[in-house]
Amino acid sequence: EAPKSALPDYANWKDESAVIVHSANTLETRRGAIGSGVVTPSKHLYVRNNLPAPGAEIVADRDAWEVRIEGVNNPATLTLAELKEIGIESVTAVLQCSGNGRQFFTHGPGGTQWGTGAAGCVVWTGVPLRDVVAQLGGVKEGMEYITGTGGEALPAGLDPKTIMVERSIPTRALDQAILAWELNDEALPLTHGGPLRLVIPGYYGVNNVKYVKQVAFTESQTDAKIQASGYRIRDVGVKGAPDQPSMWEMPVKSWVTAPLEKTRQGHSRIHGVAFGGNNPLDKVEVSVDGGKTWLDAQLLGPDMGRFAWRPFALSVDLAPGEYRIVSRATDAQGNIQPQNRTENERGYGNTSWSDHGVTLTVS
Ligand code: MSS
């Protein structure tokens, strides 16, 4: 267990016993605090801010928040109140930071040393972006990306491109994109991007732009640093560049959440979570011998759809001893969680089942 430190003001409503405070901008959900239900309580959900969060004044009059929509045939500035008139949909989706699992890399990538808890499964409610676009005459021809801009006020004296949170994702994600104003059936907290957030279910956390002030359909990707060289998969020692894979769609992943250290001999139930990322989940297997033999785990309900995770459980009988418990998920396209992580400079995208195992002492 990491030592406790105080919750930052903008997140002081979090459950202190459920999170590890890495820094004022990074809170991680404890591995054992995920629970066995589908939805991660907002109070347990991790936080990752690349810039300090804006002040609470931006949620004082939520309906007055404005978002600029560009790259459509009839560009417009819409208030949150106007968006609410256009349409509404709820989606349950895994929100996961690109760097989740960074702690298991051995080359020592800098950045927050996330274990398993820079992830949660939450319910977003808002208007489908495709409905907004339809209302504004459709996407302009030749636009290949959806570029969302965060609403943080940028510190003066620095080149805005080097610090702003502006992300481009391929327009193939338009069907699943939502402009969300609710998280888990409550007004979207400032901590998680209120009053309005661009949510791209199935995509890594960084693409889910908080306090979104502009959504632009663009011909090319933004040249903001967070897109051009940040959040790119490259070999250890190599600098980030626009031709490297960007952290967009999430692949299949799972991990064990209980028991984590020890348990009594005899009957025991192993718990965890599994998700297909941008694909539906097919199944999850558990091994109590470090991956030599596998058993199908039971997927717990309800099934909240393609982008949600499924808690899973497996009943086992264990004699006293040491066990390496691992889980391995498969998505509906047959992609299987790999044994080993892909080494990369920044420690992104770790889905290794071996890294995510737990060593259990049974007595
Ligand atoms: N947005 C904005 N505006 N800002 C910032 O900073 N960050 C990112 C996203 N978005 C940001 C944004 C990240 S990076 C992440 S993960 C996410 O978000 C988180 O979320 P929450 O709610 O949890 O805090 Mo990594 O891939």
Give the pLDDT confidence of 141-181 residue by residue, as tens digits. Answer: 999 999 999 999 998 999 999 999 999 999 999 999 999 99
Q: Are residues 325 and 285 in the same domain?
A: yes
The string of DSSP letters for 84-137 reads HHH--EEEEEEEE-TTTTGGG-SS--SS----S-SEEEEEEEEEEHHHHHHHTT
Confirm or reject: Cβ of 208 under 6 Å from ligand 1: yes
| Per-residue pLDDT reduced to its tens digit, 312-361 | 999 999 999 999 999 999 999 999 999 999 999 999 999 999 999 999 99
Is 126 inside a domain boundary?
yes
Pairwise CA distance, residues 208 & 19, whole Å? 21
Residue 36: pLDDT band by 50, 70, 90 thresholds? confident
Domain extent for 203: 9-228
Closest CA to ligand 1's atom 8: 206
Q: What is the distance between the alpha carbons of residues 155 and 49, in angstroms, rounded to a whole number? A: 15
| 204 and 279 together in one domain | no
CA of 242 to the centre of ligand 1 (A): 20
Cβ–ligand 1 distance for 284 under 6 Å, the answer no
Instruction: Answer yes or no: do 202 and 290 share one domain.
Output: no
**Residue 31 and residue 149 share a domain:** yes
The answer to whether the CB of 46 is under 6 A from ligand 1 is: yes
Phi-psi category of residue 35: left, alpha or beta, with phi > 0 → left and psi -120 to 50 → alpha: left
Are both 164 and 266 inside the same structural domain?
no
Q: Answer whether residue 25 shows pLDDT above 60.
A: yes
pLDDT digits (tens, 9 = 90+) for 218-233: 999 999 999 999 999 9
Q: Tell me, using a 6 A CB cutoff, whether residue 347 lines ligand 1.
A: no
CATH of the domain at 64: 3.90.420.10
Give the Cα separation of 49 and 206 in Å (integer): 9
Q: How far apart are CA 142 and CA 220, in angstroms?
A: 10
Distance CA 5, CA 20 (A): 8
How many domains, the chain? 2
ipTM attached to this prediction: 1.00
Instruction: Please give the average per-residue pLDDT across 20-36, as a whole number.
Output: 96
Is 306 within a domain?
Answer: yes
pLDDT of residue 4: 54
Residue 188's pLDDT band (cuts 50, 70, 90): very high
Residues 197 and 266 in one domain: no
Q: Which residues contact 250 (CB under 8 A, 6 or more apart)?
A: 94, 96, 202, 203, 204, 275, 277, 278
214 & 259 share domain: no
Question: Do 61 and 164 have their domain in common?
Answer: yes
Q: For residue 27, how far is its CA from the centre of ligand 1 (angstroms)?
A: 12
Domain membership of residue 205 (yes or no) is yes
Q: Are residues 292 and 144 in the same domain?
A: no
Give percent above pLDDT 70 in the chain: 99
**Is residue 72 one of the residues assigned to a domain?**
yes
d(CA 324, ligand 1 centre) in Å: 33
Q: Is the CB of 210 under 6 A from ligand 1?
A: yes
- In angstroms, the Cα distances linking 258 to 31, 206, 314, 357, 360 are 8, 28, 11, 11, 10
Which ligand 1 atom minimizes the distance to the CA of 150? Answer: 3
CA distance 146 to 133: 11
Q: Classify residue 241: in a domain, yes or no.
A: no
Strands (E), 171-246: 178-183, 186-187, 197-199, 212-218
3-class secondary structure, 191: helix
Q: What is the pLDDT averaged over residues 45-69?
A: 98
Is 351 part of a structural domain of the chain? yes
Indicate if 72 and 126 belong to the same structural domain.
yes
CATH code of 320's domain: 2.60.40.650
Do the Cβ atoms of 257 and 38 come closer than 8 Å? no
Q: Is the model's pLDDT at 3 over the cut of 80?
A: no
Does the pLDDT value for residue 258 go beyond 70?
Answer: yes
For residue 55, the tally of other CB atoms under 10 A from its CB is 11
Phi, psi of 191 (to 5 degrees): -55, -35
CA–centroid distance, 98 to ligand 1, in Å, is 10
- Ligand 1 site, residue 150, Cβ cutoff 6 A: yes
Q: Are 136 and 74 in contact (CB under 8 A)?
A: yes
Is 248 part of any domain? no
Instruction: Go through 69-91 and write b for each residue having 16 or more CB atoms within 10 A of its CB, e for each that does not.
Output: bbbbeeeeebbbebbeebbeeeb
Single out the residue in 177, 212, 228 at which a domain terminates: 228
- Tell me the three state secondary structure of residue 301: coil
pLDDT given for residue 155 in this prediction: 87
Give the residue, by CA position, lying nearest to ligand 1 atom 17: 205
Quote the mean pLDDT of the chain.
Answer: 97
Q: Note the pLDDT tens digit of each residue in 275-322.
A: 999 999 999 999 999 999 999 999 998 999 999 999 999 999 999 999
259 and 204 share a domain?
no
CA of 63 to the centre of ligand 1 (A): 22
Out of 228, 263, 292, a domain closes at 228
Last residue of a domain, one of 212, 228, 244: 228
Q: Is the pLDDT confidence value at 1 over 70?
A: no
Residue among 43, 182, 210 to mutate when testing ligand 1 (max atoms within 8 A of CB): 210
Residue 237 lies in a domain: no
Which residue's CA lies nearest to atom 7 of ligand 1? 49
Please answer whether residues 144 and 91 qualify as being in contact, where contact means their C-beta atoms are separated by less than 8 angstroms.
no
* 60 and 196 fall within a common domain: yes
What confidence tens digit (pLDDT) does each residue in 117-139 have?
999 999 999 999 999 999 999 99
At residue 109 the predicted structure's pLDDT band, cuts being 50, 70 and 90, is very high
